[in-house]
Amino acid sequence: MNDHHAATLRSMAGLATPMAIRVAVTLGLPDRLRGNGATTEQVAAELELSATALELLLGHLTMLDILERADNLYRTTVFGSALCGDAGNGLTNFLHLDLAGGRAELAFTELLHSVTTGTAGYARRYGQDFWADLTRNPHLRASFDQQMTDRFRDQIPRIVAAYDWSRYSTLVDVGGGHGTLLAAVLTANPGLRGHLIDLDPTASEARHTFAAHGVADRVQVTAASFFDPIPEGAQAYLLCDILHDWNDAHAHLILARCVRALPPTGRLLIIEPVGGRHAGTEFDLAMLVIFGGRERRLDEFRALTAPHGLTLESVTDLTEQRCLLEFRRMPGD
């Protein structure tokens, strides 16, 4: 029994398979080896790789059923085709070591530092925090924006349907990315007007999203940070997957900007995984090592928002991953 446990734990802790898959995606092997496939020597010559080392990688990918080998040719299997760039599942973006998702995941090598200090491991690994890295490397920002869009694509219809957005006439999506969620909300609620705030070039891409959905005449886009002053007077302000990216000190700054803009009868809407409810432990650790954040529990959200004069009015389960927390001002604030 002990030997079995040890073998299981060794398998769980192994880095060879996850890194082999990520390297395969980074090199574009699933795409290159579709169809008729190729020999190790052909691929090594094309990509300027060590043929000996590549053969070791291809052998492991074959064992994983990502590739198959016949007549000295390696070919991508049906299973492995899910790693191709046109698979439409966002995996390439998430796993590629030179795109935002794959690069960020390597911060897990600094998990000991994060657990010791309570701070992100990303800056320790790369010399600057995640957001500074995106600013310095436009291709990382573009891939991060696309990753956020891919993550929400299947959930958006349920998010739109699970909450009564028609209660509001104006909604500000703070840090709304490419605008896919706000566009869907506006499409489903013709009486609603929207305002999206995000940094450029993300904000510019959002304008294209709204035009494509036919709602551009009902939405305004402002290129700004959520640490800057936020336009005042809307009936509702939305923070979707924002606060879990930040430690409490930065989360308070974001909340302060929102509350300053919030009218007395307005609502602050927070959509996120909630710890102990709809948040996975693995994702919780990712928030820590990448951002220094976490998936907060309801009591933590109450503690975080109370100093800003907010009280939790309702919790709506949107999907198996996310909740919507609706906050209003406390009486007298």
Assess whether 244 carries a catalytic annotation.
yes
Spot the catalytic one: 4, 244, 250, 278: 244
Q: How far is CA 330 from CA 231, 307, 312, in A?
A: 21, 10, 9
Phi/psi for 295 (5° steps) reads -85, 105
Residue 56 to residue 184: CA distance in whole angstroms:
46
Residue 309 to residue 326: CA distance in whole angstroms:
13
Residue 38 to residue 32: CA distance in whole angstroms:
8
- 186: exposed, middle or buried (C-beta count within 10 Å: 0-12, 13-18, 19+)? buried
89: left (phi over 0), alpha (psi -120 to 50) or beta: alpha
**Token duo for residue 333:** 């604030």
Strands (E), 108-218: 170-174, 193-198
Q: Which residues contact 23 (CB under 8 A, 6 or more apart)?
A: 57, 97
**Residue 88, SS3 per DSSP:** coil
- Catalogue the active-site residues: 244
